[in-house]
Amino acid sequence: MPVDFLSDEQVARYRRFRDEVSVAELEQFFRLDAKTLDVLAGKRRPATKLGWAVQWGTVRMLGTFLVDAPLEIPAEVMEFVAGQLDIDPACAPEYLIRPKTAYEHSWEIRDLLKLSEFSNREKEVREYLAARVWSTTEGPRALFDRAVVHMLSEGILLPAGVTTLTRLISEIRREENARLHRTLAGRTGPELRSMLAGLLLVPKGRRVSELERLRTPPTRASGRVMTAELRRVAEIGALQAGGDAFAHYGRIFKTLHLLQFISDSGYRRMIGTQLNVQEGRHRLARKICFGNRGQLRQRYREGMENQLGTLGLALNAVVWWNTLYLDAAVKQLREQGFPATEDMCARLSPIRYDHINFLGRYAFTRADLTTGLRPFHEQAANAEGY
């Protein structure tokens, strides 16, 4: 079965709940809207209302109905739904007295949400995956996640077996890659085609082909090696001079990136977040390496490497320190009753440095781990009676 490319986590979460459901997921999938509440108003028994609402949220989150075991869900889901309906969750087992009720409700919810079976819209999923394979470099794992998200957003129920989807992805990748290779071969002139085929041959007196020689990087640095590498770059450039098809193919991804950046606000936010994290790390490094205006003044490469290694050590120490105390602060807030959710914690950054004194000498000594972490400022202030 072609499921070898999936991770254990992907297989485990396919059409199943994780052990814990986040607050964001509860709000996104199980928050009952006005239309749903109107439907539930027509149900008489509390257990019927609760079971119907749980199935409604389950199919929106998992892309499937758990009709054989509709109440095998995380406890926080049951409590969240019951709280909105002002129903005691203890009545939930009554929903299972009549097994056919869960099936009838799944049909009703399917019509309400306008959901479709995978078999009825397989062509649409095929076209979506084919477009991703053709225009991106995503691997099979990423394509699997993309397909699941696409089907959830488009109201397509996930197929019963994970192999149905993995088989489809493997088949489409083979077809689209073959189409790509045919397209590139068709646009490659006979001269370039002959030149590329010659790269696969092993010249007499050598152990590797020309392709392997051109793609192998140097193993040491010297003037002679630098000269050889410049010649190698010139040889590669000469090969690419006639490869217009390869050049145009490379521009496809840049064009797609620019179009998505312009039209997709979520994509822009994701790139902005990544840039902010990287720039934040650079700011911290510049703050630590302030001597000599942040310039490396050592004469030899080994000395520069030592300076960079020391900078990395100091930077990692700051990040590790911040991580330890951020974790301790979150635990303390939760113990005090503050709802520090995972979404809040995801916005915390360990590369802040306003509380760090960068002046003076850095002493790297073994810490006494038996004393634990230092007390927070508020605790220290209270202890002194301020």
- The total of other beta-carbon atoms located within 10 Å of residue 89's CB is 19
Confidence of residue 164 (pLDDT cuts 50, 70, 90): very high
Confidence of residue 291 (pLDDT cuts 50, 70, 90): low
Quick: pLDDT tens for 170-185: 999 999 889 888 887 7
Instruction: For the chain, give the mean pLDDT.
Output: 84
Question: Residue 214's pLDDT is what?
Answer: 83
Quick: pLDDT tens for 67-80: 889 999 999 999 99
**Share of residues in the chain with pLDDT > 70 (%):** 90
Structure token digits, residue 255: 């064009």
**Share of residues in the chain with pLDDT > 90 (%):** 33
Average pLDDT over residues 136-144: 88
Q: Is the pLDDT of residue 137 over 90?
A: no
- The total of other beta-carbon atoms located within 10 Å of residue 158's CB is 19
- The total of other beta-carbon atoms located within 10 Å of residue 165's CB is 23
Quick: pLDDT tens for 77-117: 999 999 999 999 999 999 999 989 999 999 999 999 999 99
| HEC profile of 136-204 | CCCCHHHHHHHHHHHHHHCCECCCCCHHHHHHHHHHHHHHHHHHHHHHHHHCCCHHHHHHHHHHCCCCC
The structure tokens 């992805």 sit at 169
Q: Is the pLDDT of residue 241 over 70?
A: no
pTM of this structure? 0.59
Q: Is the pLDDT of residue 2 over 70?
A: no
Which range, 57-66, 302-311, 330-339, has the best average confidence (pLDDT)? 57-66
Q: Is the pLDDT of residue 147 over 90?
A: yes
Question: Residue 307's pLDDT is what?
Answer: 75
Average pLDDT over residues 268-295: 80
In the chain, % helix, strand, coil (3-state, to 5) comes to 70, 0, 30
Q: Which of 35-44, 307-316, 322-331 is least confident?
A: 307-316
Confidence of residue 211 (pLDDT cuts 50, 70, 90): confident
Give me the helix-helix angle, 75-85 and 23-30, nearest 10°. 50
Neighbouring residues of 90: CB distance < 8 A, sequence distance ≥ 6: none
Q: Is the pLDDT of residue 380 over 50?
A: no
Distance between CA atoms of 287 and 295, rounded to whole angstroms?
12
Distance between CA atoms of 144 and 168, rounded to whole angstroms?
10
Helical residues (DSSP H) of 63-161, grouped into ranges: 75-85, 100-113, 122-135, 140-153
The residue that leads in pLDDT, 299 or 165, is 165
Confidence of residue 385 (pLDDT cuts 50, 70, 90): very low
